[in-house]
Amino acid sequence: MQHTLRQIFRSGKFVVGFSIFAAILLIVTIYPLLVRESPLTIIGQGTFFPPGIYVSVYDSLTSPRYTLQLDDAAAKRLASRLSDDDRLAMKEWLVGAGLLESEIDTTDTARLLGLWEATYDPAKRIPGLTNAKRNYYVRLDASLDGLLATEGLSLATKDPQTGALIETGQVAQTDYANVSQVANLRVLALGTDNFGRDVLTELVTATGVSLQIGIVAGLVATLIGLTLGLLAGYVGGLVDDVITFVTNLFIVIPSFVLLILISFSIGQEQRGAFTIAVVIGLTGWVWTARAVRAQVISLRNRDHVNLSKLSGHSIFRIIVADILPYIASYVVMALILQISSAILAEAGLSILGLGPRTTDVPTLGQMMNWAFIYQAYILGKWWAYLPALAAIALVSFSMNLMNTGLDQVFNPALRE
Amino acid sequence: MGKTMLEVRELTTKYVTRYRENVYAVDHVSLKVEEGRSLGIAGESGCGKSTLALSLMGYYFPPLHYTSGQILIDGRDISAMSPDDVRKSVLGAEIAYIPQAAMNALNPTQKVIHFIEDVIRAHDLYITKKDIYERARKLFETLGLPAAVLQKYPVELSGGMKQRTVIAISVMLFPKVLIADEPSSALDVTSQKMVIKMLRQLMEVGFVSAMIFITHELPLLYNVTDDIMVMYAGQIVEKATSEEAVFDPLHPYSKGLMGSIIVPEQGLRDVKLTAIPGVPPNLKNPPTGCRFAERCKYVMKECTSLPSIPLQEVSGGRSYRCLIPEAELRELYAREAHSHGHH
Amino acid sequence: MAITKQICLSTSGLTKIFGFGRRQTVAVDHVDLNLYEGEVVSIVGESGSGKTTLAKILLGLINETAGDVFFQGQKRDISSHQKRQEYWRNIQAIFQDPFSSYNIFNKIDSVLLDCINMRGGRGLARAAKVELMREACSFVNLKFEELTNKYPFELSGGQMQRLMIARIFLLKPKILIADEPTSMIDACSRATILDELMKLRDEIKMTIIFITHDIGLAYYVSDQVYIMERGKIVESGSADEVILRPRAAYTQRLISDVPKIHEEWDLSTV
């Protein structure tokens, strides 16, 4: 046993797969301890906030202010409000309006703005300008107002009686707030989804739930497959014929279709994560049963089994002591594959909207489903679906890698 | 004395294991086979017989590696050639090799004539199909195989017939040396006899000039080959004619081996079979001195204290690897036989 | 002969058919055996002759299609697990391949302990069990101290097969079926195994049934020889009779095809 373990951990593929899987497990267990927020809490009003650090504007105005004289502050501010694309568009308009191309320098913001203010006229007809483009220029022109202003902003409160604004303070361009002194900020490393939920928290919980579904489904499938395989292989005769018939029946019906039909007939309300896991397990045992049966048949005729019979051992003891240990490595490998394929099956089901009901827990498949329904793919909101996709890929990649590693250890023909 | 067809000088080859350990399975082996003669190699499993057979072809692939020594076929040194040259110009044309399960090497989807085409085309690109068939038919008929076999698929042939077909295919180019490694041990006795008969025929009609035959079945070896070489733990421990090796072995290991022969002949039930206790040494770190010392009843102090035991030449071209002189060994054996008689 | 020999195991019309309908094959075809107590009997046949199937039927590992097996004059009854266990106290086996005869996950001790338990030694003290195991090992010239707590793969093929004999020594059955016990081990260990089997027979007075393809070996070890061809017994009798003066054409062919060393081996017959 110890020797086998040492051999397994000498296999590079297994170790890489195992490390990835262990890291995922670790994150899934530790993260909820640190972030005690329900993964389905809606925090954002609006859809698909991009990833980043969200600082409360209100709190940063009232937090202590520091004056910093930074040379590149103005340039950076300009750059963030006037992008390179905007500058090029401005140049294009100016050239269209009859200015010489060589006279316009897009890097010189002040000169560019000066030229723009002097020349721009929304009513002017530039040849080849589409309506959409014309509207864009109108918007651009409006946003340029006060771009070069050096004064700060005034803060005002509203008098509740008269409704008049009373100035309470000024914010200069050189005023800074220290982020650590701002009372409220929120890191949304992966932004929010269509409902305004924190994608990262959701992702970690979903990975955990998907893994649980995978493990339950894998265990169910392996247990059924193992029992039927052992029975068919060892008992033989009529039992074998019946089990083989049922197995063949399940093989010709695509298991995913079966899965869809069962999930659909269970109904949305009854579909908890556990139910889905059991359903996946019930449709996935076929190949394990077949392979175990084949292995047991070849073991049944081995002399050590005959000798065990001659020593008067019971069928139960022969199966447990003389047959199971020989196929244990195979069963473990089958289990790993079953878990990985169950996770994929859950994802497939959920994308179709037949996964666990949406009010309890998120799963990786459901995250994909939501992103799909709210057109995150089309809108380019990558954070809503890519992380879930990566999590599915990583989990099943690590499990398949472990499986290949184990195969190399247990199957001498594949050893290098 | 005929021409020397195969000469091996101090050949050493090794296996490199997964953990980079060297296992010297063939250790400074020298042998000579003259034209028209056959040499048998005997020994327990794991003594290096089959590795020697593989090494003799001069074509090495991991984990087997060439270390030192020379292999001369009809005077041409093939140990210095590149693997590619060996494969193109030596294998099949100069040396043919028949492994134990040769009959399973036939692709089941092809007819027998296809394999023969492959062999001949590799050395003569422009020969017509008809000529190939004619050559094959003639060879098969000479060897007593029905020509109809040529148009059959391997599955249509019995095990014995398949094995004989493979042997016929492997001598299609009339190689100088034929190496047969347990060619008949997977067959029933009747097929075995047919294979043996065919091997003897090959030598008689001159399709091969020299043969090396490897088996652990001594009665078979005795009936097939002119000379016998006994191997133990990668080394040669005795070389003699078949008659001498079986009825008058010198080395204590050969003596033990010959004492374990069982044949259904009158008087067998009165013979006491001898056994050699223990197991062969692990070749990862072979013992110094005599490798058989641990299992030998005549072991002396010098056997293990000397770094190695030389191969001694005795009269009539025999040699054996033991410190005890020939006369003394014979005396020991005679005394033992005598004491057995009294039991 | 002064002492009348007791029949230990006999069969009448024993038949085994595999498969159904057109694809059925008769593996054992109306075999009648009469095995006497204390004798060594060989059943000789080439591969496919049905000798191993016959052995498995005699052992009660597979069921016969027709015919009867009589053990000590009584028709044997192995219909329940209890009765099978009782039967297996009297008949045991050594198989061809020592490497597949062991459960590689169990230590060697467990093989011997099973035998002690089977012979009613379950309640013995640990020390008494160890003493029995030591005795059994030393009977086959193995040292128990060197074997205890080891796994089967740490032993050589010869050692494994000798340990199988030690197992029989502990079980003390009336009949031992040895299915090619020496065909997978080297010739120079063969004599050891055979010697120990014969020593064991003298010790516990059992009947040995040798299943073998090697007619020379059958001649060397046995009192009675049965020659089997395609499920049928074609010739039987004392070893000298069958091997030295064979009457059946099949036996004659079998003997003439085995290589000889003292007599001429006539290659022209094939």
Give pLDDT tens digits for C206-263.
999 999 999 999 999 999 999 999 999 999 999 999 999 999 999 999 999 999 888 8
**Neighbour subunits, B (≥3 Cβ pairs < 8 A):** C
**Domain presence at residue A139:** yes
Beta carbons of A303 and C97 less than 8 Å apart = yes
Distance of CA C130 to the CA centre of its chain: 27
Residues A396, A402, A404, A407, Cα dihedral to 10°: -140
C113 touches A: beta carbon within 8 Å: no
**Domain presence at residue A350:** yes
C99 touches B: beta carbon within 8 Å: no
Beta carbons of C115 and A310 less than 8 Å apart = no
Are residues A358 and A213 part of one domain? yes
**Domain presence at residue B320:** yes
Q: Which residues in B lie closer than 8 A to residue C186 (C-beta atoms)?
A: 44-45, 216
What element of type H or E holds A272?
A: none
Are residues A98 and A34 part of one domain? no
Q: What is the predicted pLDDT for the residue at A412?
A: 61
Among candidate residues C231, C204, C207, the one with its CA nearest the CA of residue C41: C207
Are residues A136 and A168 part of one domain? no
- Is residue C1 very low, low, confident or very high in pLDDT (cuts 50, 70, 90)? very low
- Residue pLDDT, tens place only, A136-170: 888 888 877 777 777 788 888 888 888 888 888 88
**Domain presence at residue A226:** yes
Q: What is the predicted pLDDT for the residue at C151?
A: 87
Q: What is the predicted pLDDT for the residue at B340?
A: 67
Beta carbons of C95 and A311 less than 8 Å apart = no
Are residues A350 and A234 part of one domain? yes
Are residues A279 and A407 part of one domain? yes
C211 touches A: beta carbon within 8 Å: no
Listed residues A160, A187, A214: the one ending a domain? A187
C114 touches A: beta carbon within 8 Å: yes
A311 touches C: beta carbon within 8 Å: yes
- Range(s) of the domain holding residue A234: 2-45+193-414
Rounded to a whole number of angstroms, the distance from the CA of B237 to the nearest CA of chain C is 16
Are residues A92 and A107 part of one domain? yes
Q: What is the predicted pLDDT for the residue at A1?
A: 64
* Distance separating alpha carbons of residues C59 and B331, to the nearest angstrom: 49
Looking at this protein, which amino acid is placed at residue B277? P
Q: Are A367 and A203 in contact (CB under 8 A)?
A: yes
Looking at the structure of chain A, the number of domains it has is 3
- Residue pLDDT, tens place only, C150-182: 888 888 888 899 999 999 999 999 999 999 988
A377-395 burial code (b ≥16 CB/10 A, e <16): eeeebbbbbebbeebbeeb
Q: Which residues in A lie closer than 8 A to residue C61 (C-beta atoms)?
A: 306, 309-310
- Chain C: residue whose CA lies nearest to B199: C267
The pTM for the full model equals: 0.80
Interface with chain A: mutation pick from C78, C84, C103, C161, highest number of A CBs within 10 Å: C103
Are residues A386 and A262 part of one domain? yes
Interface with chain B: mutation pick from C230, C261, C263, highest number of B CBs within 10 Å: C261
In the 3-class helix/strand/coil scheme, how is A307-331 assigned residue by residue? HHHHCCCCHHHHHHHHHHHHHHHHH
Interface B–C counts its CB contacts (< 8 A) at 108
- Range(s) of the domain holding residue B275: 249-342
* Distance separating alpha carbons of residues B121 and A263, to the nearest angstrom: 63
Beta carbons of C262 and B267 less than 8 Å apart = yes
Rounded to a whole number of angstroms, the distance from the CA of C23 to the nearest CA of chain A is 17
A314 touches C: beta carbon within 8 Å: yes
Are residues A133 and A174 part of one domain? no
CATH of the domain at A268: 1.10.3720.10
Q: Are C174 and C209 in contact (CB under 8 A)?
A: no
Q: Which residues in C lie closer than 8 A to residue A322 (C-beta atoms)?
A: 103
Looking at the structure of chain B, the number of domains it has is 1
Q: What is the predicted pLDDT for the residue at B343?
A: 44
Measure CB to CB from residue C186 to each of B194, B196, B216 and give the nearest one.
B216
**Domain presence at residue A107:** yes
Measure CB to CB from residue C114 to each of A302, A311, A314 and give the nearest one.
A311
Interface A–C counts its CB contacts (< 8 A) at 45
C257 touches B: beta carbon within 8 Å: yes
- Chain C: residue whose CA lies nearest to A314: C81
Are residues A384 and A311 part of one domain? yes
Are residues A239 and A183 part of one domain? no
Residue whose token pair is 């069962």: A262
Q: Are B176 and B211 in contact (CB under 8 A)?
A: no
Q: Which two tokens stand for residue A177?
A: 């707030």
Q: Which residues in A lie closer than 8 A to residue C19 (C-beta atoms)?
A: none
Interface with chain C: mutation pick from B44, B47, B145, B193, highest number of C CBs within 10 Å: B193
Beta carbons of B263 and C216 less than 8 Å apart = yes
3-class DSSP assignment, residue A76: helix
Q: Is the pLDDT of residue C92 over 80?
A: yes
Measure CB to CB from residue C219 to each of B190, B261, B268 and give the nearest one.
B268
Looking at this protein, which amino acid is placed at residue A236? G
All domains in chain C, ordered by first residue: 7-269 (3.40.50.300)
DSSP structure string for C85-134: HHHHTTEEEE-S-GGGSS-TTS-HHHHHHHHHIIIIITTS-HHHHHHHHH
Q: What is the mean pLDDT of each run of 10 residues along chain A (416 residues)?
A: 79 93 95 88 90 92 90 82 83 84 80 83 81 85 76 85 86 90 91 92 94 95 95 90 94 88 86 90 92 93 92 90 90 92 92 82 90 90 93 94 87 59
B257 touches C: beta carbon within 8 Å: yes
- Residue pLDDT, tens place only, A110-135: 788 888 888 888 888 887 788 888 88
**Domain presence at residue A78:** no
ipTM confidence score:
0.90
Measure CB to CB from residue A307 to each of C81, C101, C104 and give the nearest one.
C101
Neighbouring residues of B205: CB distance < 8 A, sequence distance ≥ 6: B142
- Chain C: residue whose CA lies nearest to B220: C259
**Domain presence at residue B219:** no
HSE, CB side, 13 Å, CA atoms: give it for residue C171: 30
B45 touches C: beta carbon within 8 Å: yes
Q: What is the mean pLDDT of each run of 10 residues along chain B (343 residues)?
A: 87 88 91 93 88 88 89 88 85 88 86 91 86 92 91 91 92 92 87 92 92 91 93 93 92 91 86 84 88 91 90 89 91 85 49
Q: Which two tokens stand for residue C153?
A: 């793969």
A306 touches C: beta carbon within 8 Å: yes
**Domain presence at residue A74:** no
Neighbouring residues of B2: CB distance < 8 A, sequence distance ≥ 6: B34, B35, B36, B37
Measure CB to CB from residue B275 to each of C192, C239, C259 and give the nearest one.
C192
B270 touches C: beta carbon within 8 Å: no
Are residues A408 and A263 part of one domain? yes
Beta carbons of A303 and C100 less than 8 Å apart = yes
**Domain presence at residue A367:** yes
Are residues A260 and A164 part of one domain? no
Overall size of chain A counted in residues: 416
**Domain presence at residue A121:** yes
Overall size of chain B counted in residues: 343
**Neighbour subunits, A (≥3 Cβ pairs < 8 A):** C
- Mean pLDDT computed over C77-93: 91
Cβ burial, residue A64 (10 Å; 0-12/13-18/19+): exposed
How many angstroms separate the first and last alpha carbons of chain C? Answer: 42
Cβ burial, residue B32 (10 Å; 0-12/13-18/19+): middle
